[in-house]
Amino acid sequence: MADFLYQLLLTFDATLRIATPLILCAMAGIFAERSGVIDISLEGKLLSGAFVAAAVAALSGSVLLGLICAILASVTMSLIHGFACITHKGNQVISGVAINILASGLTVVIGIALFRRGGQTPTLPRDARFKPIEWFGVESFDTVPIIGAIYRQLVSGHNILVYIALLAVPLTAFIIFRTRFGLRLRAVGEVPEAVDSAGLSVTWLRYRALIVGGVFCGIAGAYLSVAQGGNFVREMSAGKGYIALAAVIFGNWKPFAAFLACLMFGFLEAATSRLQGVDLPLIGEVPTQLMLALPYVLTVLLLAGFIGKPSPPAAIGQPYHK
Amino acid sequence: MPFEEKIGSGASAPLALELRGVSKSFGLILANRNINLAIRPGTIHGIIGENGAGKSTLMNIVYGMHTRDEGEILVAGASVDMRSSADAISHGIGMVHQHFMLVPTFTVLENVMLGTEGGMLLREGRQAARARIVELSEQYNLVINPDALVRDLNVGQRQRVEIIKALKGGANILILDEPTGVLTPQEAEQLFEILKVLRDQGVSVLLITHKLAEIMDITDAVDIMRQGEIVGHRKTSETSPAELAELMVGRKVLLEVERTATSPSEVRFSATNLGYTNSLGVVELQDINFEVRAGEILGVAGVSGNGQTQLMEVLAGMRHLTAGSINILGTNVTSSTVTNPRIIRDLGLRHIPEDRHKHGLILHFEARENMILGLQDSDLAGSGFLMDQAAIETNCREKMQDYDVRPSEPSHFAKNFSGGNQQKIVIAREFSANPVVLLVGQPTRGVDVGAIEFIHKQLLELKDAGCAILLVSVELDEIMSLSDRIMVLCDGKNVGILPREEVDRQTLGLMMAGQKREEALA
C-alpha cells in the first residue's frame, strides 16, 4: 500500500513536470484565442523557444540569457503570426501552420550550422541548467509521514520555471477577468466592432495578446531544453503545443479549467510511462499508444459535442475588417 | 440653397455639427460627394435616403470609423480632425449603430465600461460606471439592469444599452443609424419618447432612416440623400411624405399600391398543426394552421426571429417538418414524406427566398445562369447533355425586359447588380412560370423605393391572376398594404389570423409581442 502511494506520488510529480510546458502554452493560447486569433503556432513558438534557449545557453554559458533569448525568439514568431493574420488579415490557421513548419526547419538548419551535431545542441552540464529549488525545511519535514514525502516530492524540488508556470495560471485569470486589458481582450475576441466603436484599436489589442502569448511560449521552450532536459533535440516539442491548444479548448478558454486539462493530459502521459508492460487487475496491459492518443481523442469528442459544449470566443478566426 | 440660408438665420447659437464639402470614395465608387450638412443644437435631424444612398458611410465618417477624402467637419463651430472613433467620442459624438456593438457574453455594466474603464483594474471604475448608468437611466428614462447579461436582453433593451454607451461620456450629439429596423412598433414608440427627452435636454439627435413615417413623426428637419449626394433639405413641418419620396428616388412614386378587392376561391395551400423542432431539440414552430386560397395574399407579420424564416424554409421543403402536415394543391406532405425543395417545387410551389444572396442567387454566376436556377433540367436550358447557350441568353434577355432589370445584360455577374435588380432577377425567374402557389420572403429587403413599387405591383397582378400567395415580411407597412389576411407569429406560434380590414398597427404590434387577438383589440 505504501509502495502504491509512493508510486502515485512519483506519478503526480512527473505529471507536474510534463504539464509545465503545457500549462505555459495553454495560457499563451488563452491570451491569443480570447483576442480572436487562432493560435495553432504554439507548437512552433515552443520549438523555437527551446532551440534558442539551448543554443544561447550553450554558447554564452548563461541559462538566464538563454531564457531571455528564447522569449525574444518566441515573441518574434508571434509578431510574424500577427503581421500575417492581424495586419494583413490572412488565414490564421495557415499562418500558424506556416510558423510551425518554419520553426521545425529553422531550428534544425541553424542548429546544424552552429554546432554540427545533426541538429542537436551540446548538452549543458547539470549546474548550467535551471536547477531544482529545495524548499525550506524539507529535511525536517521528512520525519512527518506522508506530508513529508508530498512536501519533498511534489511541492519542493522543482526548478523555477515550474513555479512560474503554476503562477501563470492565477496571473492569467487575474489579467483576463479583473483588468482593463482583460476586459478589452475578451471584448475584441467576441465583438471586435464593439471595441472599434469604443475608440480602441483592435489591431494593437490583438498584437498585445499575441506578444503575451509569445512570452509564455518562450518560457515553456526554455523549460524543455535547459531545465527539464539539457540540450535541444530536433522536434523536441513533439506536439505539446497542439496538446496545449487542446487543453485550451477542453478548458473552454478558461485559465483554471485549461490548467486542469493540462494536468489531466500530463497525468495520462506520466501514467503511460509507468504502466508500460504492467498488468493492471481486470483491465490487463494497457496499450501505451492508446493512452497517448487520449488527449486528442477526448478533444475530438469534446468538439463533436459529446462532452459538454465548447463556447469559443465568437469572433475567433475572423480577421477584422472595418 | 436652403443650407446656406439656414446658416444665415441660425447665427445666434453655433451649429452642433456641420459638414462642409465632405467626399469619400471606395475605389472607383463615390460613396459621398460634396456633402454639406448643418445640425442645430437640441433638434432631431433626419437623414433619409434609399439603401445604398450613402447615409451609413456619411455617419461613419462623422463618427471617425471611416476617414473622409475631402471636406471639413465642425463640432460646435470648431473644425476638428476626425480620424478615429476615439476622436469623435472626445468631441461629444455618440453613435448607435445599425448592428449593435455589444458583447453578448458581457453584462450591461461591462459593455458600458468598455473603453472608459477608469483605471488598470476593473474594480476601480466599476462603481463610477454603475453610478453613471443609474444617473443616465433616471435622466432619460432608460430603464436597464446593469448586471443583466446582454444576451438575455431583448432588442429594445439592447438598444437602450447602446444609447447609454453613446451618452456615457457626456455626448451632446447622438447618431442613430436605422434604429427601428429590429423593433416592434411599441418599442419604436418608446425609442421615440426617449429621443424626445434627449432633445428637450439639449442633445442633438441625428436619425438615419429610410422610413418616411419616422421622419414625419419625430424629426424637426430633414436632409435627403440620393446616390451619395444631399439632394434636398426641408423643415419637417413644411414637407410631405410624397415630396420626400420623390426626392429620394428622383421621380414620383406611388407610396402605396392600390390593393384590389379580392374574390378568393378554392384553397390551394394549407398547413395543419405544422411544427418544426431543430436538430438541437429546440421547438421553433408549433401548431401552425392556415390556408391560402387562390387569389389571396396571406401576410405573415412578426418581429424578425420569431419563426418566419423557419416557416418559409419548412414550407419550401428546405427544412423537414417534424409535426403536422402541409397540403399543396391537394397533395399532403407530412413528416414521413420524403421532401426536398425539388419535390415541393414539382408540386407547383414557387419560392422567393428571404435571403436572396444565400438561397435566391449564385452571386458568382452570370445573370443568365441565375435565370435558369432550378429550371436547369427544363427545356429552357436545352434538351440534351449540353446547355443551349443561345436559348439561355434569349430567355434571360426577355425576362430582363419584362421585369425591367437594369442593366439588361445577361452576362453580368449577379453580384454586380444592385439589391433591387437582383431581386427582380429572382422574381422574374419565379414569376415567369405563372405559379399557382407562391412563397415570398422579405421581397423588398434592401430594395429601393422605386423597385418596391414595381415588386408590389407584380405581386398584386399575380394575385389577381389567381395565385395563392404567402408573404413574409418584417416591414409592417408592406404586410398591411398587400395582404388580404394577416397571420401574426410570435415565438414560433400563430397568435392569430385577422382579415386586413380588422387590424391596425397598434393591434398588430401587440400581437407581435405575443398578446392574443382579443387582448390586443381590448
Q: Considering only CB atoms, which chain B residues are within 8 Å of A196?
A: 65, 85, 101
A173/B contact by beta carbon, under 8 A: no
CATH of the structural domain B4-247, one choice from 3.40.50.300, 3.20.20.70, 3.90.550.10, 3.40.190.80? 3.40.50.300
Identify which has the larger pLDDT, B16 or A288. B16
Q: Considering only CB atoms, which chain A residues are within 8 Å of B103?
A: 186-187, 190-191, 194
Q: What is the DSSP string of A261-322?
A: HHHHHHHHHHHHHHHTTPEETTTEEPPHHHHHHHHHHHHHHHHTTSSS-----TTTT-----
Average pLDDT over residues A255-263: 95
Residue B77, C-beta contacts closer than 8 angstroms, at least 6 positions apart = B14, B15, B18
Residue A243, C-beta contacts closer than 8 angstroms, at least 6 positions apart = A22, A265, A295, A296
Tell me which amino acid residue A171 is: L
pLDDT reported for residue B515: 79
Q: Considering only CB atoms, which chain A residues are within 8 Å of B66?
A: 322
Q: Measure B479 CA to nearest chain A CA, in Å.
A: 33
Please judge whether A199 and B89 are an interchain contact, meaning their C-beta atoms are less than 8 angstroms apart: yes
Compare all CA atoms of chain B with the CA of A200 and give the residue at the minimum distance: B115
pLDDT reported for residue B470: 95
Please judge whether A199 and B105 are an interchain contact, meaning their C-beta atoms are less than 8 angstroms apart: no
Q: Measure A107 CA to nearest chain B CA, in Å.
A: 39
Characterize the bridge pairing of strands B44-49 and B204-209. parallel
Please judge whether A191 and B99 are an interchain contact, meaning their C-beta atoms are less than 8 angstroms apart: no
pTM: 0.78
Compare all CA atoms of chain B with the CA of A181 and give the residue at the minimum distance: B120
pLDDT reported for residue B514: 79
Please judge whether A179 and B105 are an interchain contact, meaning their C-beta atoms are less than 8 angstroms apart: no
Average pLDDT over residues B277-293: 89
Average pLDDT over residues B117-134: 90
Question: How many CB pairs (< 8 A) connect A and B?
Answer: 77
Q: How many distinct helices (H) and strands (E) make up chain B?
A: 18, 20
Residue A284 has pLDDT above 80, yes or no: no
Selected for mutation to probe chain A from B107, B114, B126, B282 (highest A CB count within 10 Å) is B114
Average pLDDT over residues B35-56: 88
pLDDT reported for residue A1: 64
Compare all CA atoms of chain B with the CA of A309 and give the residue at the minimum distance: B280
Q: Which helix (H) or strand (E) holds A233?
A: none
Which member of B90, B114, B120 has the closest CB to residue A198? B114
A187/B contact by beta carbon, under 8 A: yes
pLDDT reported for residue A20: 96
For helices A160-178 and A2-34, give the axis angle rounded to 10 degrees. Answer: 40
User: Which stretches of B186-220 are assigned E, i.e. beta strand?
Assistant: 204-209
Q: Considering only CB atoms, which chain A residues are within 8 Å of B63?
A: 197
Q: Measure B64 CA to nearest chain A CA, in Å.
A: 9
Chain B (26-65) residues lying within 8 Å, Cβ to Cβ, of chain A: 63-65
Lowest model confidence (mean pLDDT) among B46-55, B285-294, B320-329: B46-55
- Do the beta carbons of residue B289 and residue B271 sit within 8 Å? yes
SS3 content of chain A, % helix, strand, coil (to 5): 70, 5, 25
The per-residue pLDDT for range B459-492, each reduced to its tens digit, is 999 998 889 999 998 888 889 889 999 999 988 8
ipTM confidence score: 0.88
Percent of chain B with pLDDT over 90: 38
The per-residue pLDDT for range B222-254, each reduced to its tens digit, is 999 988 889 999 999 998 888 888 888 777 666
Please judge whether A195 and B89 are an interchain contact, meaning their C-beta atoms are less than 8 angstroms apart: no
Residue A119 has pLDDT above 80, yes or no: yes
Residue B204 has pLDDT above 50, yes or no: yes
Q: Considering only CB atoms, which chain B residues are within 8 Å of A191?
A: 101-104
Grade residue A143 by pLDDT with cuts at 50, 70 and 90.
confident
SS3 content of chain B, % helix, strand, coil (to 5): 35, 25, 35
What is the overall mean pLDDT for chain B? 86
Q: Measure A101 CA to nearest chain B CA, in Å.
A: 35
CA angle, A135 then A137 then A141, to 5° = 115
Identify which has the larger pLDDT, A71 or A156. A71
Residue B451 has pLDDT above 90, yes or no: no
Grade residue B6 by pLDDT with cuts at 50, 70 and 90.
very low
SS3 B496: strand
Identify which has the larger pLDDT, A315 or A282. A315
Cell of residue B475, nine digits: 416591414
Burial category of B23 from C-beta neighbours within 10 Å (exposed 0-12, middle 13-18, buried 19 and up):
middle
Query: Identical fold at B4-247 and B267-361+434-521?
Result: yes
pLDDT reported for residue B102: 94
Residue A185 has pLDDT above 90, yes or no: yes
A180/B contact by beta carbon, under 8 A: yes
Please judge whether A197 and B101 are an interchain contact, meaning their C-beta atoms are less than 8 angstroms apart: yes
The per-residue pLDDT for range A310-321, each reduced to its tens digit, is 789 999 999 998
CATH of the structural domain B267-361+434-521, one choice from 3.20.20.70, 3.30.450.40, 3.40.190.80, 3.40.50.300? 3.40.50.300
Domain parsing of chain B, residue ranges: 4-247, 267-361+434-521
CA-nearest of B62, B140, B152 to B107 is B152
Compare all CA atoms of chain A with the CA of B60 and give the residue at the minimum distance: A197
Which member of A180, A184, A198 has the closest CB to residue B119? A180
Selected for mutation to probe chain B from A34, A174, A181, A197 (highest B CB count within 10 Å) is A197
Most confident segment among B112-126, B170-184, B373-387: B112-126
Lowest model confidence (mean pLDDT) among A111-115, B58-62, B412-416: B412-416
pLDDT reported for residue A140: 80
CB half-sphere exposure, B395, CA atoms < 13 A = 25
Chain B (223-262) residues lying within 8 Å, Cβ to Cβ, of chain A: none
Tell me which amino acid residue B119 is: G
Compare all CA atoms of chain A with the CA of B168 and give the residue at the minimum distance: A198
pLDDT reported for residue B10: 43
A309/B contact by beta carbon, under 8 A: no
Average pLDDT over residues B173-201: 87
Cell of residue A312, nine digits: 469559443
